[in-house]
Amino acid sequence: MTSRRFLESAQQRQQRRQWSEPQLRAYQLQRFNELLSVVLPNSEFYQRKYGLSQLAIDSVDELQQLPMLTKDELVSDQPGKPAAIHHLPATNYVRFHQTSGTKGRPLPVLDTRQDWQWWLDCWQYVLDAADVTPHDRVAMAFSFGPFIGFWTANDALLARGAMVIPAGGMSSEARLRLILHSGATILCGTPTYVMHLAELAAIEGLDLTGSRISRVIVAGEPGGSIAEVREAIEHAWRARVIDHAGASELGAWGFGSRDGCGLYVCEPEFIAETLQPGTDTPAAEGELAELVLTGLGRLGGPAIRYRTGDLVRASRRPDLGCNFLHLDGGVVGRNDDMLVIRGVNLFPSGIEAIVRAIAGMAEYRIRVTNQQTMDQAELEVEVEQRAAQDLEKEIKVRTGLRIPVHSVPHGFLPRSETKSQRVLDLRQPPFKSGT
């Protein structure tokens, strides 16, 4: 082992999941001060941000006295330039990846060999939740590109001793047949793409009930902790769904809880704060809040008090078998995804839950426009007209809003292997919510 934390035994990770909150805080404090002692003397970015080159704190609560980090601070005006938090000479970094750029210019992120091992260590909590063993065969339903999540999952599985079945560079039909014929026991993909494969199997007459897939690890979208989405996947694949959350800027910070309806923050490796959205005020337990995270092991590019933009409802749920911070429903939305339709706050994940409850795996898209200075939404769904009418009624019941639902032909809407873009925003900037 080249790192004292790399690939800890399952027994050690289980012990940490049972730590009391004071034990967690003491460990986090030690780790955070170690991080500061290594990073701060060498990072011009954090020296400018904090106005000092040395710092140690006496309690985790003192972390709140430091300024927060935002995505805008990380993205350079120069295309391809890594984030300023990377403070080591270029020769120290052995991995280059970048964000998807769905919310702007892609952000390059770099990792040293030690940082990469830390990523894999964080992933072991996800693989514990999925009960991955060396006897498993894991199909990776991605076309591998520069997105870091695919590669970290691949390497973490190899370190675990599982067989990895790469399924990139092929059509969805060929990928599906590879999954079925290779004897894969676990499938990894985005919730949307996993459902698309199930839909394709039905069209092609391929029987998923005959596959060996018993677990599906999903990431990249909120769906894994949305009950209706999870149930649709589990029904189609006859397999248990395990959710995961991470970010290129931060690391693999979340793993699915045993109840399937939420995520745990991997607190030995991340300090979590929850703030009232758009403010610096701490949120109450269970209140809708923005998640702020500090990674403790990525020394070559540390994100300290990073505003993720993810909206969560956090609480302690030791009754579920783990004392880490629990996020009920996982990531329920994002600050920049929230729609305000005629005075009602609406998240795309809420619409998806309704679509899955009524229309199963049908593809859909939300179109947002503005009329007479007010935001308006309508829904396109690949279902028959009768199902579209049922959806419109259910949306009215659950949200109080009348949102027109239009039936469109199967195959009309775009598909994606990675993060699906299901909100088509046609609003003009002066009218856009939150501006």
Collect all residues with Cβ–Cβ distance below 8 Å to 205 and sequence separation of at least 6.
none
**Structure tokens given for 252:** 């693999």
Closest CA to 69 of 267, 237, 305, 342: 305
Strand-strand pairing, 137-140 and 423-425: unpaired
Q: Which CATH architecture has domain 1-334?
A: 3-Layer(aba) Sandwich (3.40)
DSSP string, 120-172: HHHHHHHHHHTT--TT-EEEE-S---S-HHHHHHHHHHHHHT-EEEE--SS-H
Which residue intervals of the chain bear CATH 3.40.50.12780? Answer: 1-334
Most confident of the following: 68-77, 145-154, 272-281: 272-281
Q: What are 143's two structure tokens?
A: 């076309």
Banded pLDDT at 102 (limits 50, 70, 90): low
- Euclidean distance between CA atoms 199 and 193, whole angstroms: 10
List % helix, strand, coil for the chain (3-state, nearest 5).
35, 25, 40
Stretch 84-101: mean pLDDT: 89
Residue 239 token pair: 């397999």
In whole numbers, what is the pLDDT of the chain averaged over residues? 88
Instruction: Give which of 177, 269, 228 is closest to 356, Cα–Cα.
Output: 228
247 CB-near residues (< 8 Å, 6+ apart): 253, 308
Angular region, 388: left φ>0, alpha ψ -120 to 50, beta rest = alpha
pTM, 2 dp:
0.83
The whole-angstrom separation of Cα 246 and Cα 119 is 10
307 DSSP assignment:
E
pLDDT at 235: 92
> What is the C-alpha to C-alpha distance for residues 300 and 108, in angstroms, rounded to an integer?
13
Q: Output the pLDDT for position 5.
A: 45
Structure tokens at 357: 């409850």
Higher pLDDT, 118 or 278: 118
Rounded Cα gap, residues 146 and 412, in angstroms: 28
6 has a pLDDT exceeding 60: no
- Per-residue pLDDT of 112-161, as tens digits, reads 999 999 999 999 999 999 999 999 999 999 777 888 888 999 999 999 99
pLDDT at 145: 80
- The CATH superfamily of 339-431 is ANL, C-terminal domain (3.30.300.30)
Residue with tokens 């060498």: 42
Q: Strand pairing partners for 313? A: 288
Distance CA 297, CA 116 (A): 10
How far, in whole angstroms, is CA 32 from its chain's centroid?
23
The CATH 3.30.300.30 portion of the chain extends over: 339-431
pLDDT per residue over 282-314, tens digit each?
999 999 999 999 999 999 999 999 999 999 999
Over residues 196-212, the pLDDT tens digits come to 899 899 989 998 988 99
Q: Could you give the CA distance from residue 120 to residue 234 in angstroms, rounded to a whole number?
A: 27
In what helix (H) or strand (E) does residue 423 lie, and over which residues does it extend?
strand 423-425
Q: How far apart are CA 210 and CA 7, in angstroms?
A: 34
pLDDT exceeds cutoff 50 at 435: no
> Which tokens sit at 61?
């609560």
Q: How far apart are CA 9 and CA 215, in angstroms?
A: 22
